[in-house]
Amino acid sequence: MKMRKEQQVFVVSFLAPAFFLYTAFVAFPSVRALLYSLQKWDGLSIPEWVGLRNFYDLFGDSDLFVAALQHNLILMAFGGCFTLLLSLFFAALLHRRVRGATLFRVTFFFPNVISSVAISLLWVLLYSTTDFGVINGCLELIQRALVSANGHLSAWGLPQLPVIPFDLPFPFAGTKYLIYSIVPMIIWMSTGFYMVLFLAAMENIPETFYEAATLDGATEFRKFWHITLPLIREVLTVGLVFLVIGCLKLFDAVWIMENQWPQKESHVLATVLYQKVFTEYNVGYGSAVAVLLFVLVFLSTLLTLRLSRKEAIEY
């Protein structure tokens, strides 16, 4: 269909502002980042082309980048997996028409709308080794109970219970353990979001499927495994993509919990990027990190989508 002149003017005038802004401030800078990553530049003098030297440096020069990448993978492996499993579990529980489901749904979502800066500061307090540290406080109570129980058990000649194998209070938010300590925080703050996502998908499944399964005498677990899970597969994949991207891009938590000065033991990709560019003025190196971050996001999205497209079920 050919548009009239008037319509052409309309379409162009409506598309142009967004197109221009997006091109100038998203698409163009993305290409620039690629070019920066091939240069050696301190942000002031004339940049020098160095080819793939920056990428070579990422892996060869020091092991900072590799360590940071490893930390992102740790976050993904532990934080991502547990978030996914826990949110799926909660969604399945609420899907069975629990009374007060709205209350749980709304409340579980709370941490997701709170500023990540506030959440990181709050968790520093929760992990604290001072009187504020609830987590250390609870562990100390448990430890004391275990030790006293062991005293009784040994009096009776019974085998001992395992005790917490480290000294309390434990510096959870210290540089050395920071990455592992962020894992529970990630689970705490994102489970609600993914639960809402999966629950919405589950509610689209026709009730008749479950009725038929009930007539055939299927247990709750088999219904979940054979009906719910296959039918929300697409949304599950999307959730997985979101989680992977989120763990790759993580910045705020490390930055805040490390008082804006992460060490090698606590760096993630985004903080390496920031520190290289804005405190060491090594723009090329920082941009190479950014480009690799993009490549990782891109590949994991593509891979996950490809894997899920195979057998989408229509109903």
Assess 238 for contact with other proteins (CB under 8 A).
yes
CA angle 177, 181, 184 (to 5 degrees): 160
- The owner of tokens 């990190």 is 289
Assess 142 for contact with other proteins (CB under 8 A).
no
In whole angstroms, give the CA distance from residue 100 to residue 25. 45
Assess 248 for contact with other proteins (CB under 8 A).
yes
Assess 261 for contact with other proteins (CB under 8 A).
no
Residues 290 to 309 in contact with other proteins, rule: CB under 8 A: 290-291, 293-294, 297-298, 301
Assess 131 for contact with other proteins (CB under 8 A).
yes
Assess 270 for contact with other proteins (CB under 8 A).
yes
- For residue 304, the SS3 value is helix
Closer to other proteins by Cβ: residue 99 or 152: 99
Which secondary structure element, helix H or strand E, spans residue 148, and what is its range? helix 134-155
Smallest distance from other proteins to CB 156, Å = 31
Q: What is the largest CA-CA distance in the chain?
A: 96
Smallest distance from other proteins to CB 74, Å = 19
Smallest distance from other proteins to CB 245, Å = 7
Tokens of 205: 């499944």
Q: What long-range pairs does 127-130 form, CB within 8 A, spacing at least 24?
A: 127/172, 127/173, 127/181, 128/173, 129/169, 129/170, 129/171, 130/169
Stretch that binds other proteins, among 141-149, 161-169, 221-229, 268-276 (CB under 8 A): 268-276
Closer to other proteins by Cβ: residue 163 or 184: 184
Closer to other proteins by Cβ: residue 26 or 215: 26
Q: Are strands 48-49 and 39-40 parallel, antiparallel or unpaired?
A: antiparallel
Cα 93 to chain centroid, rounded: 23
Per rule CB under 8 A, count of chain residues that contact other proteins = 88
- The owner of tokens 């399945």 is 92
Going from the C-alpha of 153 to that of each of 147, 160, 279, the distances in angstroms are 10, 6, 57
Residue 205 · residue 96 · CB < 8 Å: no
Residue 277 · residue 40 · CB < 8 Å: no
DSSP code at position 262? -
Assess 245 for contact with other proteins (CB under 8 A).
yes
Assess 209 for contact with other proteins (CB under 8 A).
no
Q: Which of 58, 64, 84, 126 binds other proteins (CB under 8 A)?
A: 126
Assess 279 for contact with other proteins (CB under 8 A).
no
Assess 60 for contact with other proteins (CB under 8 A).
no
Closer to other proteins by Cβ: residue 93 or 212: 93
Smallest distance from other proteins to CB 3, Å = 6
Q: Which of 5, 45, 115, 152 binds other proteins (CB under 8 A)?
A: 115
Residue 150 · residue 164 · CB < 8 Å: no
Closer to other proteins by Cβ: residue 170 or 194: 194
Cα 163 to chain centroid, rounded: 31
Assess 314 for contact with other proteins (CB under 8 A).
no
In whole angstroms, give the CA distance from residue 17 to residue 300. 32
Stretch that binds other proteins, among 76-84, 119-127, 163-171, 211-219 (CB under 8 A): 119-127
Residues 85 to 114 in contact with other proteins, rule: CB under 8 A: 90, 93-94, 96, 98, 103-111, 113-114
Assess 166 for contact with other proteins (CB under 8 A).
no
